[in-house]
Each structure stands twice: as C-alpha cells, then as structure tokens.
Amino acid sequence: MSPSTEVLDGGWGWVIVVASFMAQLLAYGSPQSVGVLYPEWLHAFQEGKGMTAWVGSLVAGVGLIASPVCSVCVDNFGARPVTIFSGVMVAGGLMLSAFAPNVQFLIFSYGIVVGLGCGLVYAATLTITCQYFDKRRGLALGIVTTGTSVGAFIYASAQNELIVLFGLDGCLLIIGAVALNLMVCAGFMRPLNMPGYYLKQKAALERNTEEQLFEKPPLDDLKITAGSTPTTTEKTLTVKELLITVDSKDLAIQSEKKKGGLLAGLTIMKVIKKKQQAYCKYMHSMYEILQDQAMVSFCIAIFLFSLGAFPPVLFIEDVAQTQGLIEEVSVIPLVSIGAIATCVGKLALGTLVDIRWINGMYLYGFTMFAGGLALLCIPSTKSYLGLQILSAVLGFFSGNWSLTSYITTKIVGLDRLTQAHGILMFFGGFGIMLGPPVVGWFFDWTQSYDLAFYFSGGCVELGAFIFFLLNLPCWNRKHSENDRPDVHYTSNCEKVASVA
C-alpha cells in the first residue's frame, strides 16, 4: 500500500499519536517511577545501594542498548506485532517481579525482561509516528514521548498507594495487569507501509507463482468445480498460503524441485552469501555514520548526559530520606514532580525545534548545560522545597530526549535514521545502565550523595562542552541546520523511517 500525501500530518496520524502516547505511558510508567520502588527493595532484600540500583538502571538501559535489534524487529515485522509482543514482555516481567526472592532475580525479571519490552515499545511507537508525520514531526514526537513522563507522574503516586493497600507484591501484580492494555494500543497502529517481512514473502510468492504457471500441474490439482478457472483458483490459494510461509520453507520447496542434492546445496550457499553481503553492507553503513564528526559528538553527549542525569530519577527520594527531610514529604513525590516537568519540557522543546530559525543542535547543548547546573546544586540543597525546584528544573531539561530523533535526521538524513538512532540509543542506554550503580557505590563508599552528584553534574557539563566544541561553525560540517530533510516514500516500501 503506497501512502498518499493526504495521509501525512493529520487524519489517522493523530490516532497513531494517541495510541503511541498511551503505549509509552503503560510501558514506561513503572520503570520511570522506579525511584518509588527502590526504597522498598532496599528494605525488603537488605542489599547495598549499588547492587539494588542495577534493577533501575537495567530497566532503563537495556532497551536502549538493544535499540538496533528493536529497530530491525520493527522494520521487518511492523509496529503492531512488535507492540503486542512487547505488551506480553512488560506485563509478564512486572508480574514475575512480584515473586522475586532476591535482588538477582529482580535484576532479570524487572531489569532485563521489562527493559527489553520497553525498548520494543519505544522503537515501534516512534517508527510509526515518523511514518505518519513530516512537517509536524517534532510536535508529534514531542506528544508521543511525553507518554513516558505522564506515566511516571501517574504511576509514582499510584504505586505509593498500591504499596500501602496491597504491599509491594500486590502493587507489581496490579500494574502488570494494567500493562496488558498495550495490546489494545497496538490495534490502532494501522501500518502505512508494508513491513520488510511481508515484502520478502510477497517476492517469494511472485517467484513461486511464475514457476507454477509454467509447470504442468498434478492430476489432483485439476479437480475443480464447473465454471471456474484452474489458473486463477490455484493462484489465489497460493497467495494465502505463501504469505504466511517463512523463508526456510520457501527454500525447502525450491530445493525439492531441484533434481539433485548438489543444486540444492548451491542454492543454500547462494542464500547464505546474500545474507552475509547484507550484513556487511549494514556494518559498513554504521561505520560511515560514525565518521561524521557531528554524529560522534552527539554520541558522546548522549552518553555523558545519560550517565549523569538519570540517577536522580532513581535516588531523589532516597536523597530526601537520607537528609532527614522525610517528614516534609508532600502528597506528590519528587519523582512525580520531575516527571511532569519532563512532560512539559518535551512538549516545549519539541515545539521550539520546529521553528525554522532555532538551531536544534545548540538548543540541545543548552539543555545539557542547564541540566548539569541543576545536578551540581543538589548537594548544597538542604530543604525539601529546594529539592522540588531542582527536580522540576532537571526534569524540564531532561525533556531533550524528544529532540534526539529530530537532530539525528538533521545529521545523517532520513535514509540512515534507523542505524544512526540505534547507535545513539546504544550510547544512551550504556550511560543509563552505568549511572545509578556508580552513584550507589559512591554512597556506599562515602555514606553521602554529595560526591556522587558532583560527579554526575561534572559528566553532564563535560558532555555539553564537547558537544558545543565539535559543532562550532568553523568545522564546516556538511549538514546545514537550515536544510530540512524531506520524507521520501517509495511505492515498494523498501525504506521505512525508523527510530529506536
């Protein structure tokens, strides 16, 4: 099905935005508010802060590290099947975590299983949103990515209440059951382009149909009803069968038609060689992307920002308790304040980057610089009101995640968006995975969060400096910020705009 221009930037695209928003809310609600669960796990399992922090770091980092694989899954199978499968993973991982006997089991069930499910949801929702929007893509992505922040805001308060009413285990079971609604969201994700898997089956269908038309059909196949055409009937039945046939079966059918094992072996070797060439071409494309100086600077910035800015999401509640501010805790947790500020930040930054005269690269660098200053101020804050303000400031500038897809398209173009965004998310996921354990080890070592947050703020400021330095106009980058890449669709759907 080839898209028309009327489909873009409106119509069913807004239904896609709502469905993707709800999918991210349901998937990321608990992982983004894991700071509420963290003190409960510390009390339940009596492990060190560094070891327990691996649960929260993995659930946020594993999905991003695996984003290249998630992008391939979405490209080949489409957003709808991937979202359905991710719903099973997220819900299953949350329910399984209710029966965790120790932190090590929790690292697997909550950190890895739920984390991979969230990574698949993220890739599927952003991919199908990019396909449906062109001129308003920044706004659409901003709305979709706010689903994680709204989910964190709602789930932080909800999990507090559920823990009081049903305990930690009951809370995980309930939010796991709610996560099954991801399958409902998937039902609205009508594909705009045919996924690569079905294109392969269609090619196999056409090839086998042509061969069957020139072969003499068996006598059993000639038993047809009066008034029907043999060729048409046979072709229709073959379409339905071959569209659900995997490549291995297609290869086996072709091999059986060859009279001799040698020809079958040559056919298999030819297929393997083509697969190897495709993988080599993909790796070479990734290597070329990393030759771009702007892309390298963006990878470094994403890594350092994730390393420093994510730990407050996990530790900010424990920081308040450690400083003796627990009696001042309001009805709205600090995690919820940061989440709603991130929601506002994503919308505001997504809207700003669509303005033509605003440089998206410099806007991202400024958000890093301001976020780093907020982190450096946390150790000197001795009141709960101060922590609330800093959580809001840091949350707002953490909304720069909505800019990553836009800036990546600016640097490498739409044709290489899948590979480039997968590389970026790998660096971001690696930083998120390392940040909380490092902060936890700093506390176990010094019995204070001061040095840990100085380290986090320093990492973010260093990333901002490197990003600004390597993107100065004097480097004469090939990609101009004023050149706004257009979406190019092909009738055979060979290229799909995907982000991880």
Tokens of 494: 């060979």
- Phi-psi sector, 324: left (phi>0), alpha (psi -120 to 50), beta: left
Q: What is the pLDDT of residue 489?
A: 38
Tokens of 36: 């509420």
Q: Are 38 and 314 in contact (CB under 8 A)?
A: yes
Q: In the chain, what are the helix, strand and coil shares in percent, each to the nearest 5?
A: 80, 0, 20
DSSP collapsed to 3 states, 281-303: HHHHHHHHHCCCHHHHHHHHHHH
Could you give the CA distance from residue 98 to residue 88 in angstroms, rounded to a whole number?
Answer: 16
Cα–Cα separations (whole angstroms), residue 325 to 126, 315, 441: 39, 14, 22
Q: Are 155 and 29 in contact (CB under 8 A)?
A: yes
Local structure of 497: helix, strand or coil? coil
Backbone φ and ψ for 207, nearest 5 degrees, come out as -65, -45
Instruction: Dump pLDDT digits (tens) for 30-74.
Output: 888 887 888 888 888 888 777 888 888 888 788 877 777 887 788
Tokens of 385: 């009101």
Cα end-to-end distance, the chain, whole Å: 24
Could you give the CA distance from residue 311 to residue 306 in angstroms, rounded to a whole number?
Answer: 9
Alpha carbon of residue 412 to chain centroid = 19
Q: Which residues of the chain have pLDDT under 50?
A: 1-6, 216, 219-251, 257-259, 328-329, 477-500
Instruction: Dump pLDDT digits (tens) for 181-229.
Output: 999 999 898 887 666 555 566 666 666 665 555 554 554 444 444 444 4
Instruction: Dump pLDDT digits (tens) for 12-24.
Output: 888 999 999 999 9
Alpha carbon of residue 7 to chain centroid = 24
Cα–Cα separations (whole angstroms), residue 177 to 154, 164, 180, 181: 16, 18, 6, 8
Q: What is the pLDDT of residue 229?
A: 43
Q: What is the pLDDT of residue 327?
A: 53
Single-letter amino acid, residue 461: E
> HSE on the CB side for 327, CA within 13 Å?
1
Q: What is the pLDDT of residue 20?
A: 92
Q: What is the pLDDT of residue 172?
A: 93
pTM: 0.64
